[in-house]
A and B are shown apart, each in its own frame.
Chain A
Amino acid sequence: MTVARQPLLATLRRHGPAYLFVAPALLVLGLFTLAPMLVALALSFTSWNIVGPVKFVGLKNYALLLADPTFAHGLWNTLVYATGSVTFGVIGALALAIALDQKVPGIGAFRALLFLPALMSEVISAMVFQWLYNEQYGLLNYMLSLVGIGAIPWLTSTTWAMVAVVIMGAWVGAAYNAPILLTGLQSISPTLYEAARIDGASRWQEFRHVTLPLLRPFTLYVMVMALIGSFQVFGRIFVLTGGGPVDATMPAVQYIYRVAFTFNQVGYASALSVAMFLLLMALTWIQMRWLKEKEA
């Protein structure tokens, strides 16, 4: 590049307008996304409680968090939620996408209606589910009683509360991801299916050897994004269970929120969030490796 060797001033004069066009967006993203990332990293090496001086403590916060049982518990809850909601959400989305790919009359209406759960806000859906899950008067337990299943303590039992939270997560995830997978299915050329049929492939063989491999970029995208999203789960659970009963559904983010904004331990909370970020990166990497390997 010859441009790079020009003096800075000449570059700016020549390309100034272009930089002015990108400046507002880059300022917003830099100041409110990139800078906070660096600040979080810096603060994670300090003990700072909002008031008082910022004291450098080296890796002490990281040593503390490794032995913090509440953080470990929050991470475990997050992992359980992520595994459950991503698995059922993506399988559900795949089933929906395949059904929505059928050329039958009225399919447009189904496509429109089945996306609706993705539009309900975290807070509202959690409120509505809280009502559906109501042990005594909830619709869900009534439906179950019709098939002879006794009242389930959805939100008051430590075991069932997690099931309740995962069901809600999968309900949203399936609806949100189905159109993305549907786009993937529609990008597969029909001639490939014809070729498979001529070769005498069964429906299952078609699905296994044509659909799944060609859909892989889309499933990979959906699974990675779903994992990142589910790791940050906060609002849904905060409103549905408050993280309870007795922290049984408290995700790691809620613990970080508590440490930062209730206990005011900003330094430690920053270390917790950096640790979570690293864990998420590692998991995403493993997930991508695993899905790529299955391809080979």
Chain B
Amino acid sequence: MSAPRKPLAETLPVYLFLGLATIVALVPFGWMFLTAIKSGPEVYRLPPVFWPAEPTLKNFAAAWGTGNFPRLFLNSAIVAGAATLLNLLFDSMAAFAFARLRFPGREALFAVVLATMMLPAVVTIIPLFLIVKSLPALGPGGWLNTYAGIVAPGAASAFGIFLFRQYFDTIPLEIDEAAKIDGAGLWRIYWSMIMPLAAPACVTVAIFTFVVQWNDFLWPLVVATDADMYTLQVGLSYFTTEHSIDWPLLMSAAVIVTLPVLLLYAFLQKYFVGGLAMGASKE
């Protein structure tokens, strides 16, 4: 950065505040990691032990082997992965039509899409359960306790459609017109011309969908009643209601569950903040 040097009297308070804020923001993360690598008795010592005498990774192995943890990890990966792929396809298709095609009812339908963003989940959760339960073909409980049932309500999102539309608006229409003259159909134009140009929008939608789905709690809690169909978040939530909590074990599990999101963030940080700002800039 080539910003001009500022006097210390000006930068020092900024660093002090930011340093303090960073500590407050990171203490829960730090304590989670530190507890995870302690041995059992060490967490019940006063004053608290910060860095363990003998850091251990055995809690991670133990957490992985508790209950059906690997199965829940797989469930979460399948659910978040499938929701991400479906959103990438469905949201971009809808946005392509909204941004680049003219058809009757276009603006009205787009308004309906945006309106779904305003409806709080609290109103829809009970009927959603009833609807998913009555969907045919996957068993007596409808789509309850199925991957399809967990994923379907989140398979498209107003946020994703909106974000793709914003991005598609920046791509010149001449591309479509040239392709049309060359005899390309709409699907060709969408899939082979526009989508490759929209890679940044794809990354933003993908990571947002993945993180939201990976972290989601209420819907999987409602739709999955069979322990083999729990996601990680649902499975973990039952841990804490037990009477004696094994904190190193629980914090190890928490680290394992948080790690995929942290890794995504480490590599794709700029897309997170870009996507977040999109919401506000539509005002």
Contact = CB atoms under 8 A, between A and B. Distances in A.
A4 B94 contact: no
A104 B29 contact: no
A57 interface: no
B137 interface: no
B144 to A, nearest CB: 12
Contacts of B131: 31-32, 35-36, 39
Contact size range, B:
35 or more
Q: Is the interface of B mostly helix, strand, loop or mixed?
A: helix
Nearest to A131: B247
B123 interface: yes
Interface string B229-265: 0000110110111000001001100100110011001
A179 B124 contact: no
Nearest to B266: A112
A232 to B, nearest CB: 5
A277 B153 contact: no
Contacts of B18: 99-100, 110, 114
Interface of A: 1, 3-4, 11, 15, 17-19, 21-22, 24-26, 28-29, 31-37, 39-40, 43, 95-96, 99-100, 102-105, 110-117, 119-132, 137, 139, 142, 171, 175-176, 179-180, 183-184, 217-218, 220-222, 225, 228, 231-232, 234-235, 238-239, 242, 253, 256-257, 260-261, 266, 269-270, 273-274, 276-277, 280
B217 interface: yes
B79 interface: no
A26 B27 contact: no
Interface of B: 1, 3, 6, 11, 14-15, 17-18, 21-22, 24-29, 31-32, 35, 43-44, 46-48, 89-91, 93-94, 96-98, 101-104, 106, 109, 112-113, 116, 118-132, 152-153, 155-156, 158, 161, 186, 190, 211, 214-215, 217-218, 221-222, 233-234, 236-237, 239-241, 247, 250-251, 254, 257-258, 261-262, 265, 269, 272-273, 276-277, 279-281, 283
B71 to A, nearest CB: 17
